Structure formats: C-alpha cells, structure tokens
Structure 1
Amino acid sequence: MTRLRILKTAIVAMALVPAAWLFIASTPAHAQDKSAAPASHADVLKRGEYLARAGDCIACHTAPGGKEFAGGLAMDTPFGALYTPNISSDREYGIGAWTADQFYAMLHTGKSRDGQLIYPAMPFASYTKVTREDSDAIYAFLKSTAPIHEPNRPHELRFPYNQRSLLIGWRTLYFREGEYKPDPKMSVEWNRGAYLVQGLGHCTMCHTAINALGGSSERKAFEGGLIPMQNWYAPSLTSNKEAGLGEWSIEDIDALLQSGVSNRGAVYGPMAQVVHDSLQYLNDDDIRAMSVYLKSLPERSGTAIAEPTQATTEQTSTLAPLGKKIYDAQCAVCHGAQGLGKLPDFPPLANNQSIQMTSAVNPIRMVLNGGYAPGTMKNPRPYGMPPFAQTLSDVEVAAVVTYIRTAWGNHGTPVTPKEANDLRAAPLN
C-alpha cells in the first residue's frame, strides 16, 4: 500500500507527493502477551480495518470520485505522473490472488509479488519495520473488501525515470530492510510510539528534507523540509524554533494529533488531512505512545535566535506598519490585538513556533488560501480562516505576514512580495 502524498526519489521521480504523517495502531509482536488466546478471524479483520484506517490506505488508493481501494490516484511529479494501484480483493487487478506471504514481502522488501521493484512512492523504507502480525491483519482486511474490477493505470514517467533498474541505486543508498527492534533501555510505551511513528507512520517522509538524490539522510531525520510539489513546509520536530515538541505537554501533543487543535495551535494543509483521515481514529493509548516518542526526539537544530541584519530590519520597518493596519482590520477579531488567539478555536500567533520558522511558506499560504482545522470526533465543528488571495495584493500579504512574524516578541524574518506571488498558484492541498 502506498501512503498519501510522498514520492521519494529524484532518480526515479519518486519524492514528490505530499504526505504529512501516517500512523498504524496495533500491538507489535514484541509487546504482545504470548499466552493470550489466538484472535478470531473477526477480531483480525477488525484490527486490520483499524490499521488500514490508521494507515490512511483509502486516501492513496482511492481516486477522487472513485471506488475505495480501486487505486488510480494521480501523483504528479516534475518527471511525469504515477498512479496508485488497485488494492481491493479483485483477483485480476487487485490483491485477491496474493498470499499473505507475498503481501508481507511487498511491505518488507519493496518488491511486488513478481519481483518487480516498487517505486518509493510506496514508502517501503518505513513499512519494512512493520511486524508480520500487523501485515497479516491488514492483508486479511483488504482481502475482505469488495472486489473492484478496474485495471491499474500505467505510470506516465519520462525517460529515464521510467526505468525501474535505476531504483537499485536508490535502494542501496536509502533502504535498510528489517522489522522494528525495540530499544531495551526505553519503556514499553516509548517503544510503542517509536514503532508507530517509524513504521507505517513514516513521519520522516514529510518531516525530513529530501536531498539531491531524492532520499533522506538518517542524520537529518525529523529536521523538517519543504514537501515537494505541494509547497507546504513540514516543520522540524527536533527544533524548538519550529515544531520541536520538547516544550509541549503530552496532553497538548495528544490533542493536536487526535483532534487537530490544541492550546499550542492547530493543524492545516496536508497535516490536517492526516488528522482527519487517520489520526483521529487511533485509540488514546496509541496517540499517547506516539506523543511520548515524538516529545523525546533530541534537540538537533538548535534554538539560538539569529541577530537581524540591517537589511531585514529595514525591510521589517517598511512592511510592518502596513501589516499592522491590515492585521487590526482583518485578523485581530479572531486572533486578538496582541496575537493571543481565542483558544481553542483560534490559535495564538504570539510566541507561535510555526509563525516564526525560517520558512514562511505556511503562514503565507494560510493568508492567501485560508483553511480549516480538520473536523474530527473531538473537534466536530472546527473554525476556519477565510482566504485573502482575492482581496490583498502581494505587497499587502507580505506586509501582514511580516507583521505577525515580528510582532509581540516573535523572532521571524520579513517576507517579500515575490514570495507571496510565488505561492498564489500553489496547489491548495
């Protein structure tokens, strides 16, 4: 199964579909009670459905307006388009003729049942960590779904990116096969969270920058990066200057992951889709385990605040007064005159890490396009922000974003009208 939006290798055009985070939720083999009675078939199907829901399989393997698990979702890249496969129980076009062994081998090795190398749009570099028991549960559920007799659409990649043999080089550099191994020095809960995040969750697929070869360095895992082709920035989870969680409470992390809103902020863009489609369905224990693990990620990006240069100071002085006027007229009613927000519906902008990040992509996009936090079971009626792309010029957008990044003690840098203009045509999702 592939995961919503990330194509992960420039060599073969695989690093280019957004993916915000994706998580599974079942108990890994190392944490299970070996004396427990074998699960019934109904229990296995229920757990497999839970895993498939948590893994957001539908999102990648269902085209807009299409049938569930029939595939056909286009993943556009600069090198052409990839189309997700049919994973329904159909025997000809889906996985109906696959065995559990073949399904596990696909997740574990990144090879189809005929031995063909799979493009890393399917993040097998993370899925290889998934236990056999979890793989079997997902397989059983998918086999129980209605067969959709729709053929798989061939990829439309330009030469040489359509040559699968190039994947051998990518795999040598970036793929290490093997199930997750628990760290005996850490708690059961921490290991559970690590398993969820590192396995089907593959959070690093968005929150790690993609290098020139289309891969990610383990040394830079979770340090953030621009999501290719989507023009959203997935912030660093290891830096408290961005989305580092070291200063967050477990309760606030839980709330953000499961409901999409917390006292520290709200999720928008690709992450909102992940919360809506996947994370809200995870049980409280799994969400807490993930929070414990994510909060423990070591600080690697530093927290020092760079001194502003004369050029940035001058630019801020030029834009901020106009930005304040716009903010007072358009934004203060929800976010407050001092940027303190109105919790939990309207997030604070003062002392908000996501506002001050080096990359200003996300706040620019929010001003241009607006958006809603996801509607979830714990936040069924989310409040949203209106778009201002039609009412504010590039200069005005730059001014108001500069203002919120530098007011109230925020330490962001100013943005330019060109940056605003560049993002006007960005895809909405």
Structure 2
Amino acid sequence: MKWLRRLLLLVVVLVVLLAGWLFFGGRHQPTSPAMSKVVASTLHDPALIARGGYLATVGDCAGCHTAQGGAALAGGRALATPFGNIPVPNITPDRDTGLGNWSFEDFWQALHAGKGRHGELLYPAFSYTSYTKVTHDDALAIFAWLQSLPPVHQAASKPALAFPYSVRNSLAAWRALYFREGEFKPDPKQSAQWNHGAYLVQGLGHCNECHAARDSLGGTPQDMHLTGGQIPQQNWYAPDLSTRQNGGLQGWSEQDIVDLLKTGQSAKGAAFGPMADVVASSTQHMSDDDLRAVAIYLGSLPARVPAPEEPSPFNAKALVAQGEKIYTQHCADCHGKDGSGVAGVYPPLNGNSSVTEPSGLNATRMVLLGGFAPVTAANPRPYSMPPFAQQLSDSEVSAVVSYMRRSWTNNASVVRPEDVSKYRHTPID
C-alpha cells in the first residue's frame, strides 16, 4: 500500500507542477562569462585552480565524466539507469560542447539547484542531491579548475529514456519528493573534524548516492543515510557504512577505514567492483587529514536494527556442509581455514562486509568473476582473485558462498542456486 500512496502522491504533484509550468513556465536566461559577477582574474588564480583540482578529485568527477580510453572529463559515455540511458556531458571548457560559455553562476545553479544553463531540470544521475551541500567557495574553485583544462570538442548524445521519464519537466515532481536544496550546515555540537568529515561524505563524496537503497522511482527516502543498497544497473551491493552494532562495517576502526580508502586494502577487507574504481581515481589522492575526518564521521553513524532472517525452503545445513568441502578445496589456501586471510595480500572473509552484506550479491559475483583490487600508490601490485565461473556450477557457488556467509563469526543468510544463475548472466559493470 505504501507504493500506491506514493504513486498517487506523485500523480497529484505532477499534475500541479505541470499546470504551474503551463501557466507560469519560462526558461532561465543563462549568464554569459562576460556578465558573471566573478572576474576573470579570480578564475586564473593558481592557488584557487590547484584547490579546485583537488576538490574535483575528491568528488570523483572523472569517474563519470571520462569515457574509458577517452579524453579527461569530455563525457562520451552514458549512465545506465532503470529508466534508460543518460549521456554524461562534456565539462571541459569547449565553447560548443562543454562549459566554455558557462559563467560561474550557471555552474553554481547546476551544482546547487540541479538546473542546467537554460533553467532545464537536470536528471538526478548527476548527483546534485548531494552536491547541493557543496559550499560556494568550493564550487568556485572547482569551476576555476575546470575552466583551466584544455577544451575538448565532444558533443553528448540525447537521453534514451522511456516515457514518461523522457518528459524532462516531470522531474519537478521527483524533486518535490526527494530533493532538498541547501548548503551543508555544521553541527555546533560536533567537532570541527567531525563536521569536515560529514561535509565530505554528504557533499562532494556523494557517498549516499550508492550506499543507500533506491525505491521504484529512483529516489532515496530522507531517512535512508548510508544504510546500504544495491547499485541500480551495476549489480553490486554498496554496504551499510555504520561501524556499530549490526552495521555493515561493524568492528572497523578509524584506521581500517583510512587504510581502505588510501590503499584499497585494510585489515577488514579490500575494495572491489565500483569501490575499487573510486579508490583508484579519488580517495587514494585525498589528504590524510581528510581521510581521518571521513573515518571519524562514519564512526559516528548509529547502530542498525538487524533485518529478520527469511526462513529457507531447503536444508541450509546440508548446503553449508557442501560449501565447506568446496571452500577447503578452492579457497582455504589463500583465505585460511579460519577465513582470516593474509594481511596485505589476501583479504579476510571472516567479518568482511562484502561477504556478509544482505543480498549475497558481492560474494557471489566475486566467486564467479574474480576480484580485482585497485592499483594505488601504496599498493602498486595488488593480488587479484581468479574467477570460478567455469569450474563451479550454480549449486556449488551457492554452497561455497553460503558457507562463507555462515561460518566463523559470520551469520548472514544463505544464497540460493537460482540467485547464482541470475548473477552469472548479468553484465560485469
């Protein structure tokens, strides 16, 4: 019934907003660079540009705005969503296809309000739901850095969205449900370090865009903050980031978090899948002070209420017993009989959030497709895990993953063979 009420609310809001558009519609007039309140000399300040480059790395702009093998930040790729593909724009200072004719005011409107240069509503594949928290000064630094880049002429394709998502003005209803515009406000009850970590996580880092579940409309409810969720269309599960009881990172120390973000490895696990890309292109380049602030903030997230375990329709004990035999044959030499792994070489499986996350998706895909930790300055030659898709059947993968999820101190649900079959035939990214 909750989904029906939300759908009815969406219809009502959509009708009201479309009516308002018909009566009061109009377009924002873009501000030319010559009309901008920001003088050109400001944008050429070397210190501001250098800071902007660092902040753009923290925000991992290249992670979306650079196509594989393409020119940096020139777009050229499309983001897959449940509603269709959305092209990523060119953000180099090319005048025809990039941001060359944008003023800072135009850029600020996109980052802070989720609106394009002509006032058009931007699709939330661009994480303005988080970037709205970025301060004016930091946005100016990022814009100065972007304007300092060599221009690349590369036009974006048009969105390939199904109706009614192809009607851009319908985003007004979505925004009414899920978007709250406003800069980050420090909590006076918390330390400066905590507030800085909160700003990085909630704003530039846009961690909640992956680490929270989305509903059928592609939105994240306001009370879902870093509670974990499956990343749409990527077939990976981004874990809950609480380090407290029943959290996805339960038992992790501040140093464990810093190590993972800096090197891709920690005593509690390693970064794989989309997070490996984030570490490689973004977090390994963050300062130690910024990483420590992030860890302090994540360490303050509240304990979680455990999800009730669904009853299994088959003999889970027999499945786990079969899995133990497979684990002994294929996994124990690297990860140890006790699941402790080898520090700095093979990640532990005992207490590993990628193993125990609610869906079982990550561990299943790792067994099927292998695992590849990021190459970082601190760990230039990480060990990788070979794939077992050709060696193990769906029932065997189900058994060994279920064994890992229910052994040692782990107490997660089993994975069924039909789920393995589904994950086996899904795209890698």
Q: What secondary structure sits across from 1:138 in the alignment?
A: helix
Matched with 1:18 is none
Question: For residue 92 of structure 2, what is the aligned residue in structure 1?
Answer: 88
Q: Which amino acid aligns with 2:174?
A: W
Question: Residue deviations 1:223-255, cap 9 Å, x none?
Answer: 111111111111112375665445321111110
- How big is the alpha-carbon RMSD for the aligned residues of Structure 1 and Structure 2? 2.1
Q: In structure 1, what residue type is equivalent to 2:127? A: P
- Counterpart of 1:125, as a letter, is T
SS at match of 2:237: strand
**Partner residue in 2 for 1:198:** 202
TM-score scaled by structure 2? Answer: 0.86
Task: Provide structure 1 residue ranges, at least 5 long, that are not aligned to the other structure.
Answer: 1-9, 12-37
2:167 is the counterpart of 1:163: yes
Quickly say closer, same or farther: Cα 1:245–1:186, change in 2 above 3 A. farther
Distance (whole Å) between structure 2 residues aligned to residue 275 and residue 192 of structure 1: 19
Query: Paired residue for 2:129, among 125, 129, 132?
Result: 125
Structure of larger gyration radius = 2
Q: SS where residue 268 of structure 1 aligns?
A: coil
Which consecutive residues of structure 2, in runs of 5 or more, have no partner in the other structure?
Answer: 1-9, 12-41
Q: CA deviation at 1:77?
A: 2.8
Displacement, 1:317?
2.2
**In structure 1, how many angstroms separate the alpha carbons of the residues matched to 2:131 and 2:305?**
30
Among candidates 194, 209, 213, match of residue 209 of structure 1: 213
- One-letter identity of the residue aligned with 1:400: V
Secondary structure of 2:359's counterpart equals: coil
User: In the TM superposition, what is the alpha-carbon distance from 1:354 to its structure 2 partner?
Assistant: 3.3
Q: CA deviation at 1:357?
A: 3.0
- 2:281 match: 277
- Count of residue pairs brought into register by the alignment: 390
How far apart are the structure 1 equivalents of 2:386 and 2:88?
33
User: Do structure 1's residue 302 and structure 2's residue 305 form an aligned pair?
Assistant: yes
Alignment of 1:258 onto 2:262: yes
The ranges of structure 1 where at least 4 consecutive aligned residues each deviate by more than 4 angstroms after the TM superposition are: 239-243, 306-309
Question: CA separation in 2, counterparts of 1:241 and 1:358?
Answer: 15
1:319-358 deviation digits (Å, cap 9, x = unpaired): 2232122111111110011211111211111233432232
- Residues 412 and 245 of structure 1: CA distance in aligned 2, closer, same or farther (over 3 Å): closer
Secondary structure class of the residue paired with 1:211: coil
1:403 corresponding residue in structure 2: 403
Name 1:362's counterpart in structure 2: 362
Alpha-carbon distance in structure 1 between the residues aligned to 2:184 and 2:221: 18
For residues 203-225 of structure 1, give each alpha carbon's deviation from its aligned partner in whole angstroms, at most 9, with x where no partner exists.
11111111122211121211111
Distance 1:192 1:392, change over 3 A: same
**Aligned-residue offset at 1:307:** 7.2
User: Which of 248, 252, 262 is residue 252 of structure 2 equivalent to?
Assistant: 248
Counterpart residue identity of residue 191, structure 1: N
Q: CA deviation at 1:413?
A: 2.1
Identity of aligned residues (%): 49
Contact 2:373–2:383 under 8 Å retained in 1:
yes
- Pair 1:110 & 2:114 matched: yes
Distance 2:102 2:208 in 1: 29
Q: Note if contact 1:241-1:356 (Cα within 8 Å) is conserved in structure 2.
A: no
**Could you tell me which residue of structure 1 aligns to residue 337 of structure 2?**
337
Tell which has more relative contact order, 1 or 2 (C-alpha 8 A, sep 6+).
1
Amino acid across the alignment from 1:262: S
* Structure-1 separation of matches of 2:403 and 2:263: 29
Query: Residues 21-46 of structure 1, C-alpha deviation per residue, up to 9 Å, x if partnerless?
Result: xxxxxxxxxxxxxxxxx998111111
1-structure distance, mates of 2:147, 2:339: 51
Match among 63, 78, 84 for residue 74 of structure 1: 78
Q: TM-score scaled by structure 1?
A: 0.86
1:5 maps to what in 2? none
Q: Deviations over 1:43-96 (max 9, x none)?
A: 111111111222221221122222112112111234322110111111111101
Is 1:100 matched up with 2:107?
no
Paired residues of 1:210 and 1:225 also in contact (CA < 8 A): yes
For 2:254 and 2:186, the matched residues in 1 are separated by: 22
Q: Could you tell me which amino acid in structure 2 is paired with residue 302 of structure 1?
A: V
Amino acid at match of 1:168: A
The answer to which of 92-101 and 408-417 deviates more is 408-417
Aligned counterpart, 1:7: none
